Structures are given as structure tokens and as C-alpha cells.
Chains A and B, each alone.
Chain A
Amino acid sequence: MSTQDSTPERITLLQGTLDLLILRTLQLGAQHGQGVARAIQRASRETLLIDHGSLYPALQRLESKGWIRAKWGISTNNRKARFYELTALGRRQLVHEESEWRKLVRVVALILGPEPVGES
């Protein structure tokens, strides 16, 4: 996009995608909310900005579904933070959602056809 400034382009997440990203992020180990947000941002090369308004409800949703669990702990730089980690159920769910997602992407790609050249 030509109008972009120093801020990387943002895209809107599809409904349900954030859950998958959180689960994926937590697969690497327990993390607090801010860590999850940072990790997703970094992994998406600052394309995805996760705001609190969606991050925390999503964490809460996952927690209530039993896919992740949370407990208060101390961060690497000695701050109190609420750490989330995957449950066994969450791991299975991650596998399931990941395969669903890949399936969806493949199907959507098939319909859209090959990616045009020239657009970053």
C-alpha cells in the first residue's frame, strides 16, 4: 500500500483467528497477556496489533473453555503477571484448529487463484 508510513499495515483478524494465534503462541510455553500480544506482533512482523479489548476477552474465553489455564506468577523482569498456559484440551484444540485453518486457507487460495505480483 502506497500510503503506509512507518507503521506496518494492519489487517483485521478473522473471527476466531485470535484464539488460534493465542493457542499457537502459548504452545511455546506459559506467557502473560502482554507477552502473548508482543509475541504475536513480533511473529507477524508488526502486522497484527493485538489490543486489550480483544486480547483479554479472548484469553478469558479460552480459559473458560478449559483450553488454557492461568495463574499469577513473576515475569523475567521481576514483575507480577498473570501467566497463561495450554491445557491438554488446549493442545488438542490447537491441533484441530490449525488443521482447520490450513484447510480453510487452501480452499480460499484455490478460489482466489494465484497471488498477483507487485503487491508487497
Chain B
Amino acid sequence: MSWWGRRSDADFAEEIRAHLALEADALARERVVESDASATARRAFGNLTAAEERFYESQRSRWIERIRQDLIGAARQLRRSPGFTVTATLTLALGIGLSTSVFTVANAVLIRRLPVGNQKRLVLLWGESRDGKSSKLPLTLDIVHAMQRQFRSLESAAFFAFRGAVPAPIRFGDQVFPIQLGMVSGNYFQVLGSRAQIGRALRPDDDVEGAAPVMVLSHRAWKRDFGGDSAIVGKSMSMIYTNRSYRIVGVMPLGLEYPGQTDVWVPLVAYGAAGGFLDALTGEINALARLRPNATAADARAELTALLAESDSHALRRGVRGAVQSLPEAVLGNLQPAILLVSLIAALLLFITCVNVANLLFVRALSRTSELALRSALGANRGRLVSQLLMESCLLSIAGGFAGIGLASIVIRVFVIAAPGSAPRIDEIHLDGATIIAAVVITSIAMVVSGLAPALFASRSFAHGSPPSSSRLTTNRHLRKLAEGLVIAQIALAAITLVTAGLVTRSLMKLERLDLAFDPHDLFAAALAMSPDRLSDAQSQRVALALVVSNIRALPGVRAVTPVAAMPFVGDGGGVDDRMSIAGQSSEDRTGNPIENLEVASPEYFAMLRIPVLRGRVFSAADRKGSPPVIVISSSVGAHFWPGIDPIGRQLRLPPNEFTVVGVVPDTRYRDAQIARPAVYFPVEQWPDVPTTLLVRTDDSRVASAPAIRRAVASANNGITLVDASAVEELLAAPRAQPRFNAIVFALFAFTSIVLAAIGLFAIVATMVRQRIPEFGVRMALGATSKRIGTGVMRRGLFLAVVGTALGIVGAITAGRLVSALLFDVKAFDGGTLLVVASMMLGIAAVASWIPARLGMRVNPVTALRREN
């Protein structure tokens, strides 16, 4: 046992103090005269002062000196084993760099902000049926007024038209734009806490009957339709539906398009009153409200439910309760699970990194046992050994941290460059200091802890007694077991991320190969606009449209053209939606009916889109204006109104008209690529409006293209202009952007974790081989073949991989529930994915252990045996 090891400095100091006191007492007892006393003391103590100085000084500065020495020693040790140092630094860099960069990108893309004041407190209120089957039921103006008056949970409340943004053409000069119109209350922007970027927002005094007609533009529409010209504010545009001129008073900031994809906001009451449909508008509205600072969404929901229970309306009172959704969630989607998942995986990746580095440190401690034993024998105590090992960890984590920051900034830059232009807010992505500091701090703590464990372990094992011979020490079982356990954990974690990545990728593949229930190949969608000057009535519009249709049909490679009500995949608010009903339902009963997509269809529509007809017939040329009104419904509409009964020949009403069902087709994903929606199709001739969207089926998308369609529309020169023409398959890319992004993020995570796991496995097998070289030498000298030795090594590596993968797959099945929100049509337990992951893991493990196994096979028995001595 060494001097510093057993007793504390304080104890020693105490003994010295006691010594001095005792000596002083002794001198006093001997009654030495004062002058003599000092001399005697000097004599008696000889080099007391020096001893004292030596002791106290060393005590004070010793730790600084020690740290300096340990730092130098640690640096020397790291330099001496460049393989370990480089591997550990790279592992850290990879872990820190990739986890922070992916987290940063994911966060920037997923966590978006609306240009409103404190978006967390903004909520949307509506009704839902008590059985939960129907949601987003509209409220009435009276209810919203009551909310404004009574609700303690709300600071303020605004309202907007239930249908969100509706398509409405506007005329500016001689141009007509098909814009999305949002009808909102005058205090809408006040409640949002949103100021105009140019001019002003709508005000409450704009929203009274008879107020001067005004509108505000969304930033997107301002850029797209008006080239971002600031002079637009103050000019007027006419709404074709109301035939009134509206003055543009402002442009709202970028990112605000709610409700739906609004291009132009008008004050609801003033607009409705001017158009004569105010009652229809105010009968079905949604509320947007700001919660009081201490109130929660649940408070607002409870108040709304209580209010509805006192409603005059019997149906509302009995069947509807309050529903509240946060505005950011409604606009940006519910991002909590995705953000949680990305954070979790980033943390997992960091954890794997820590485990990996801990493992490397363990393995290193193993191979350094003789060095540690020697140092301990030469008088280094345990504290000293621990201190130096810790110092090595610190140096590594500093190096790894810097390399990780470098890597992260490179990865982010590459990501920004490589990302598709459609990726939202990609230009705002930058390396977040807090994120990277967090990653470095976490890793450093892990490094210290993982450096500490082997240090304590090693010092406890080797600081005792005489230095044992190196070969006996290197087989320290505990250390090896621990290191192997860590590798198993790492392989398991890699398997979990790989399974997740596999699931997300498979769900992306499913999404890409999705059965839309119509055929998007070689299909173009063209949005048209009609000049209200040249085409003032429906009849002239129909004639003009017929000419454009025949022009397009005449294009080479075009097989069919059909007018439709909406562009594909426009989602909410992009088309015409309504609730159909059956005879005998009261207006309140109707609130339980599904909201259908209302589509128009020509006789060739279903054949052209390759939508199968399940029952009945499709439209024919006989279904024209004046003939009995007919509809084709999608299967879920029939299932709702006539469960188990053939709907053919039955009637659906859309007041004031009644329509006879003549055919049933499947629900398609025409409006929303991810959800098959209920739809009702009307014959184009019986549809009150003239459709302004065309679908064009071509033989070969390369022959007939968007420019050709544009030329065909222009050549008609009859007041119809082409607004947009795109291949439907291109339009499909937008709804798939997010899943694709998810797949990329997870693939990156999985790649990193596999690389880390492979490094870990390689390190441990390589160390095992190095340590067993003497043993291999003996066995070879006794006649073992190199093949046999190689197999033994491989078997160990593969054993670890098999155990790790098995545990990982069990973990992945459990963790799968978390990702289920991100999955589309793939179950969290996906046999195929698990099989692929398992074989991938084992393949990688085989390579990671084969390389060191070859090392073992090349052992020269003579050299190996000599090394033993």
C-alpha cells in the first residue's frame, strides 16, 4: 500500500500538527530560555521548515501539478495508440455530428411557427358528436357571440366560414385569378395577433353590413399573382360572385393562409350581406379563440360543451359536445409524436455513441492491464490511475466534440443543398448552438462516466499487490463480460433504429405504390380561368370550355379530356364539399352526415380515370340539363345512408334538389392522397357551375406535356386562360414529401447506428483476438488449424450479434407503437422488415468479426509463444 493511498492528507496534517504541538510542549517543559529555544527548535527539528514547506506546498499545488502531469500522460498515451484514438474520436464525431444535424433539420422542418402572437394559446373550437363519430361540426354565430360574452377560459374569439377557404375567381384589371377566398370576422387578425406586412389587416369596423368593401391578401398570393408589388395596396379587385369591387388594404405576413389555403380574406358579415347569403354563412361557422394565460384547451372545451347543452337546438343539445384543437396543430398537423420520435432517436443515437465509446474505453482498459499493473506496482495509487484515465476521456471528448460540430455543419449544409425545393422553410435551417452544446455535454458526461468505470475497475483489479504477469491479467473476465454486454446493447439499439427506418421506408414505399383507386399515370391536370368580360354567362362559358376541350383532345398523344370540379390532392378547402342528406332528416340530423367531396363527371370520366364501377351505371349523354337529376356515389356514402341495402335508385338531397343514385364507385384518393374520401359525382351538364379544371389522359406523358396543353388553351383564344398544368404524378410528390423526409431522417439515423455498432463489434473482437494470440499460438503449435481458430473467433462475434439483434427486435416491436403515427398502412410489427433487419445486422456483424478473425488465423505460433514469455 502506498503512502497516499490509505490515509488522507488531512489525517497526515493532523499528525504533523500534533507533532509540532508535542514538540513545543516538550521544549517548554525543558524550560529552555527564549533565545535558546529557537536554536534548540531548529536543531531539534533539523529541516523542519523544509519538511513543513515541502508537505504543505505539495499538498496545495499537488492537484494542479497532478492534473498537468495526467494531461501530458494522457496525451502521450493517446498518441501512442493512434488506432484507438482515431476510432474513438470518429465514433464521437459521427454520433454527435449526425444526431445533432438530423435533429436540427428535423426540428426546423417539423417545428414551424405561424406569424401570429403566441401560437400556443390559439385554439379552434367546433362541435363533435357525442359518440365521437362526426367531428368538426360547425357552430352558429349565436354560439360564438355567447362564447365571447361568457367564456372565462377565452381572452377573445373570432369566427370564420365553416367551409374554410372556398374557390372564387377575382378580376384585377383584365386578368382573372382563381383564388381561395377566406371569409373571416373583423377581429380575426386581432385574435391571431397578426399584423399586416404591408398596409393593414382587417378590422372589426370593416365587418359590419354596409361597410366599405375591403380585402387583404396572403403573402403567397401577393407574390404569386401580383409579383410582390407593394403598390397593389390601395387598388381594387372585383369579386366575380358578388360582382362588387373590393379595395386591397393590406398584405399579411408569409406563412399565414388559415383557414385552408386562403389567398384573399374578406370580412364575413360585410361580404355575406353584400352577396345576400349572410344567413347561410353565419349558420355554419367555426371559432378561433385565444385562451387566457391561465386557461387550458380543456377548460374551453368544457365551457363549450356546457354552452351547447343549454342550446335552443334540440340536436345540438343532445348530440354535440365541444371540441377544441390548437391552431398550430390544425395548420401544421400534430407534430408532437414526430418531434418526440426524432428527439428520442437522436438521444438513442447519442446513447449508442456513448455506449460505443465506453466500450472502446473498456476494451482499451483491458489491453492496458499490464501497463496499469506496472504503474500501480511502481507506486501510482488508484486515484492517480483513475485520474489519468479520466483525463484521456476528457481529451477524447473534446476532440470528438469539435469533430462532431464540424461534421454536423457539413451534413446540414449538404442537406440544405440536396433537399427538394418543396421542403418547407429549408433556408431557415442552421446549426443550433444549444442543440450541439447539449450533445457535446451529454457525450462528455457519458465519456467521463464510461471512462470512470473501467478506470475504477482496472485500478481495483490491479492496484493490489505485486504486478501479475500480463497474460493472466488480460483475461479479466469481468471487464470482458461488461464490454461484451455493451456491444450487445449497441447492436440491439442499432437493430431498433434499423427496424424503425425500415418501417418508415416501407410505409413510404406503400404510399408511393398506393392504390389511389384511380390511375394517375400519364394524366395531366389543368386549372383554367375564365375572363368574366368575354364569358359573362354560363352558356358562353360552356361553349368556350367545349372548344378548349376539343383543342386539347386534338393534341397528338391525348386520348381523353374531362372537366372536373377540383385539382387532384388539394385536400381541405380545395374543392366543393357538402353534406348530402336523405329525406326525413331534420337540418340538425344532417350534422351527423359525412361531408362528401362533390365532384363533376362527364360520361367518360370514370373510364378515363380507370375508376371501377361497383354497382349501377355511370353517366351517359342522356344525363343532361333538364333530364332527371342523377348522381354516382362512392361506396362509403352508400354504406352511411343505406347500410346493407343497395343504394341504386334511392335519393339523396342537397336542398333544394333531390338526386337519384344511379351508380356506386369506390372511395378514391383524388382529393387527398392519404385518405380515401366519400364522394358524390354529378353529371357535368347538370352541375350549376362551369368547371374550370380539366383532366387530360395521354398515351405517353412525354408526347403531350404541360406546354402543349398551354398552347392548345391559348390557341382557342376565347377568354379562357391556363392557370396551371401539371402531371398528376408530380402533384403526388407534395403529399409524399413528408414521408420521404421521414424516411431520409430515419435512414440517416439507422446508418449511423449501424456504423457505430459495427465499430463496437469490430473493436471487441479485435481486442479479443489480440489478447488470445498466445493461446492461439499454443493451440496452433498443438495442431489446431488456422481455420478452426478463425471459426472460433467468428463464432464469438456472431454470438454477440445474434443476442443483440434478438434483443433489438424485441425492443423494436415495443418501440414500434411510438412510430405507428408516422406509418402508413404498415403495422409496427412487420415480419418482412424484421427479417431484412436481422439478416442485415448479422451480415454486418459477420464482416465486423471476420476481419479480426483473419488476424487470429495469421498467428505465427513461434512468435505468439515467444510473446507469452
Contact = CB atoms under 8 A, between A and B. Distances in A.
A82 B23 CA distance: 14
Given A64-B6, A79-B25, A41 B15 contact: no
Instruction: Choose among A34, A35, A77 the residue with the greatest number of B CB atoms under 10 Å from its CB.
Output: A34
Contacts of A57: 3
Instruction: Choose among B3, B44, B52, B54 the residue with the greatest number of A CB atoms under 10 Å from its CB.
Output: B44
A60 interface: yes
B543 interface: no
Contacts of B45: 51-52
Contact of A79 (B1, B21, B55): B21
Interface in A41-60: 41, 49, 51-53, 56-57, 60
B19 A52 contact: yes
A53 B18 contact: no
A56 B46 contact: no
Contact of B15 (A35, A75, A81): A81
Contacts of B6: 64
B105 to A, nearest CB: 60
B111 interface: no
B64 interface: no
Given A41-B44, A51-B51, A52-B51, A81 B16 contact: no
B333 to A, nearest CB: 70
Given A41-B44, A64-B1, A52 B16 contact: yes
A91 interface: no
B26 A34 contact: yes
B23 A52 contact: no
A45 B54 CA distance: 28
B61 interface: no
Contacts of A79: 18, 21-22, 25
A56 B25 contact: no
B51 A80 contact: no
A53 B15 contact: no
A66 to B, nearest CB: 10
Interface residues of B, number: 27
Instruction: Choose among B16, B19, B47, B52 the residue with the greatest number of A CB atoms under 10 Å from its CB.
Output: B19
A48 B264 CA distance: 106
A76 B242 CA distance: 113
Interface string A65-91: 000000000010101111000000000
A7 B25 CA distance: 21
A51 to B, nearest CB: 5
B26 A38 contact: yes
Contact of A34 (B7, B19, B50): B19
Main secondary structure of the interface of B (DSSP, over half): helix
A51 B22 contact: no
B47 A32 contact: no
Contact of B19 (A32, A53, A77): A32
A22 to B, nearest CB: 14
B18 A82 contact: yes
B88 to A, nearest CB: 37
Contacts of A7: 43
A64 B1 CA distance: 6
A81 B22 contact: yes
Given A64-B1, A79-B21, A49 B51 contact: no
A51 B19 CA distance: 11
A72 B143 CA distance: 85
Interface in B1-36: 1, 3, 6-7, 12, 14-16, 18-23, 25-26
6 closest pairs, A vs B, by CB? A34-B22, A52-B51, A81-B18, A34-B19, A64-B1, A51-B46
Interface of A: 7, 32-35, 37-38, 41, 49, 51-53, 56-57, 60, 64, 75, 77, 79-82
21 contacts: A32-B15, A32-B18, A33-B18, A33-B19, A34-B22, A49-B44, A51-B47, A52-B45, A52-B51, A52-B52, A53-B47, A53-B51, A75-B18, A77-B22, A77-B25, A79-B18, A79-B22, A80-B14, A81-B18, A82-B14, A82-B18
Interface of B: 1, 3, 6-7, 12, 14-16, 18-23, 25-26, 43-48, 50-52, 54-55
Given A34-B26, A49-B43, 11 more contacts: A32-B15, A34-B23, A37-B19, A51-B46, A52-B19, A52-B45, A53-B47, A53-B50, A75-B18, A80-B18, A81-B15
